[in-house]
Amino acid sequence: NDVLRLEGIAKTYKQGEPGEVQVLKGAALNLAEGEVVALVAPSGAGKSTLLHIAGLLETPDTGRVILGGEDATGLRDRARTGLRRDRIGFIYQFHHLLPEFSALENVVLPQSAAGKAAAEAKARAESLLDSVGLAARMHHRPAELSGGEQQRVAFCRALANAPQILLADEPTGNLDPATSDTVFERMTAIVRETGLSALIATHNLELASRMDRVLHLKDGVLLPPQAT
């Protein structure tokens, strides 16, 4: 029961131009329902490219992206956007919250964009923020929150539309080690409770080892640790 399958994903930037870089060369992966997988790779190896392809933000040159059994590879822009909004939550190293809006509004907005009624969206945002310990901070703007709090808000925003899959690109990479650890613990606990599937890129091998499975991105393909 795979929520996400990547088959033979290849991606080259600047094809045929100076600076051509062949980032992915047939990367493949199966993400089962409720599975939490670590994606480990050195900087520049193509983690962001892979996550963007999995999240339908970029298209591969060859290969297939299958979401919940549906081949998303050939979809038109509108259908891709819809599928992404319904199925996928993103979180990045930097929070990318809207600075002029409160934490609560930042979690409400993607729900409003998806057509949810205001009261319902607000109730869900409050409940999500409460679950990450931010009940007392939801009316603060991002600049009034600590780095760990900002990432917790970004996590709530990623979950706002109840996705099936969380794609995380170094979600605690900007935080000091102690904060990173607590934020990470909280995030993964909620991922587990909700039965969400997650693909989490990290440099931190200790954090990676706590996930169900670790995949290394090396020379454009994904490999289990023993093969690297």
* Binding span for ligand ADP by CB under 6 A among 78-86, 96-104, 121-129, 142-150: 142-150
The DSSP-derived string for 50-83 is HHHHHTTSS--SEEEEEETTEE-TT--HHHHHHH
CA 39 to chain centre: 11
Binds ligand ADP (CB under 6 A): choice among 3, 41, 107, 138: 41
- Quick count: other Cβ atoms within 10 Å of Cβ 212? 14
Nearest to ligand ADP of 145, 207 (CB atom): 145
Give, as ranges, the residues between 46 and 65 that touch ligand ADP (CB under 6 A): 46-49
Task: With beta carbons less than 8 A apart as the criterion, state whether 3 and 165 touch.
Answer: yes
- Min separation Cβ 116 and ligand ADP, Å: 27
Query: Which residues are paired to 222 by β-bridges?
Result: 217
Nearest to ligand ADP of 20, 71 (CB atom): 20
- Is residue 148 a contact residue for ligand ADP (CB under 6 A)? yes
Nearest to ligand ADP of 37, 121 (CB atom): 37
CA–CA dist 118, 122 (Å, integer)? 6
- Is residue 199 a contact residue for ligand ADP (CB under 6 A)? no
- Is residue 142 a contact residue for ligand ADP (CB under 6 A)? no
Give, as ranges, the residues between 15 and 34 that touch ligand ADP (CB under 6 A): 21, 23
Binds ligand ADP (CB under 6 A): choice among 63, 149, 184, 221: 149
Length of the chain: 228
Strands (E), 21-178: 21-32, 36-40, 62-67, 70-71, 88-91, 165-169
- Min separation Cβ 29 and ligand ADP, Å: 15
Binds ligand ADP (CB under 6 A): choice among 16, 17, 18, 44: 44
CA–CA dist 69, 136 (Å, integer)? 41
CA–CA dist 179, 63 (Å, integer)? 38
Nearest to ligand ADP of 25, 140 (CB atom): 140
Residue type, 102: S
Q: Which residue has the tokens 């080690």?
A: 177
The site for ligand ADP (CB under 6 A) is made up of 13-14, 21, 23, 41, 43-49, 137, 140, 144-149, 179
